[in-house]
Structure 1
Amino acid sequence: MTSARISGPLVPELIRTLPTPELGLHLLASLAGNANINSSNVLRGFETSYGGGYSGNPTEPDLDRLLQRIADAWAWLVSKGLIGPNPTQDQNWSRVTTEGRALAQDPAALLKLHGAERLAGPLDEALTRARTYFNLGDYETACFAAMKAVEVAVRDAAGLANGLTGTALMQQAFQPEKGPLTDTESERGEQVGMMSFFAGAFGAFRNPVGHRTVHFDDPMEAAEIIQTADLMLRIVRRAQKRNGDADA
């Protein structure tokens, strides 16, 4: 059994000032090259580095605080699934997980984690492909798939012809007063707003090639577009139930 080797201590000022998630990712990068790690070895390594070693004269006056912050960072990494049990060792040993190794040197790691958290809850079943593409890091295709799912759902729920596409489809489906998905019990201003919402969101995000208002390398923005699609689908399902579709 080999013990963990820390790739050099973190700068004390970073430990003092970084938010726990960012500190956690710095710690992750220092651990990624080790096959076996455990929290005790990590903490003792930092204690030795900043505690003056055998001299007994700490180089950092707030040593206890520094160790608490490292412990917090370790706990955060475990909670995010970036550090987990090592199946080849006993329960005292851990490993950097597969996802942790993928994120260890990724400058966008925190954004990817936050984006994934945005999509951690249930989504409409029609967004399964979009979520898969998002998890693969293909954010452009994920957004395209999400809005395509909205287009298909709107057309099916409204019973409109296959030749009707894009914003024209959204405008006809939610046309004030007489659109098949329009809530006729709502005020006209709300009806116009709903039609504009569907047409605007679809027009902005449906065609990534033609619309460059989105930064498709930004996982947070991609997650928010998928969430927008999920909201749109929820509204469509509600309209279906209002129209008597028991399967919606």
Structure 2
Amino acid sequence: MRSTQDIAAFALRWLVDVEFRMPTMPELIPDVDALLGLAPEEVAQAVLTSAHSMAQNGMFSAMGVIGPEMLYGRGIPGPAIYPRNREAEITEALGVAWLWLEINMLFMPSPGINGTNGWRQLTRRGRDLLVSPDRFRSFREAAAFPKALLHPAIADEVWLDLARGDYQVAVFRSFRAVEEAVREAGKFAAHDVGVDLMRRAFNPTTGPLTKMADPAAEREALSALFAGAIGSYKNPHSHRTVGITEPRDAQEMVSLASHLLRIVDSRRPA
């Protein structure tokens, strides 16, 4: 026969699990094969959601989110559970997802003794990403894109634009930096802009940023590359709203801008 304390504990846990529907991992990703087939950063979104819902006074622990009780049943009616015979695989998949969240600073140790004892809380970035699945997807794509690939002149701001899903802003900011770098390196006036500026700066015979030692065809091609990039990626964003919905497209565009910035660096007068 259960004691009064057991009954009270049972009632409290039933309220937590059923009445308030705090989602556990088996509820968020009920198919164990799907869980094990997803990439860590994809599983991480569900872990983040579950951690937020399980938080008490803003704090949660790995044991309370991805511990055995939450995954394989707690002896009371409640959410779906994972099969025990897959425990090693499940533990690794969820542990790696938890680590991904910590590495990307979506979790942090709670202040004081709580953090020492394993309690965590969401960072501001983690809270922001709970707003919508699209926002988390944008961050996930940005996290997979190394900031080190970007030119230092644009790396910090543009990477954050990508993480927020502000793809149009990221592309415009990147190619505006190219235009500014060419204008400064070639000692042009403030009113020199756009494709015309690129053509003048990299003119095959008179351009201040042209390397005359290169073959004529390569000088012409580089002039066309800069003019085409500014005409295709910077000018449209200056004049109208250009929709960019795919993070990979934006990443490729800003990578091109970074490459052009490095070329400009190499052509600056000694």
Q: Scaled by the length of structure 1, what TM-score is found?
A: 0.79
CA distance in 1, matches of 2:160, 2:88: 43
Counterpart of 1:43, as a letter, is G
The gaps in structure 1 that reach 5 residues or longer are none
Counterpart of 2:263, as a letter, is I
Contact map agreement 2:139 2:162 (CA 8 A) in 1: no
| Aligned pairs for 1:1-248 within 5 A | 7-8=23-24, 9=26, 10-11=29-30, 12-33=32-53, 34=55, 35-41=58-64, 42-49=66-73, 53=75, 59-87=83-111, 89-91=114-116, 92-108=118-134, 109-116=136-143, 118=145, 120-121=147-148, 123-125=151-153, 130=158, 133-134=161-162, 137-207=165-235, 208=237, 210=239, 215-240=243-268, 243-244=269-270
Counterpart of 2:184, as a letter, is D
Higher-RCO chain (CA-CA 8 Å, sequence separation at least 6)? 1
**TM superposition shift of 1:53:** 4.0
Larger mean CA deviation between 159-168 and 147-156 belongs to: 159-168
Counterpart of 2:178, as a letter, is V
Structure 1, residues 171-225: CA drift from partner, whole Å, max 9, x if none? Answer: 111111321101111112221221111011111111315477x643444433433
CA distance in 2, matches of 1:24, 1:128: 24
The gaps in structure 2 that reach 5 residues or longer are 1-12, 77-81
**TM superposition shift of 1:94:** 0.8
**Higher helix proportion:** 2
CA distance in 2, matches of 1:14, 1:127: 35
Equivalenced residue count is 234
Counterpart of 1:94, as a letter, is R
Q: What root-mean-square deviation, in Å, do the aligned CA atoms of Structure 1 and Structure 2 show?
A: 3.0
Contact map agreement 1:119 1:223 (CA 8 A) in 2: no
Matched-pair identity in %: 25
Report runs of 4+ in structure 1 exceeding 6 Å deviation.
none
Partner SS, residue 125 of structure 1: coil
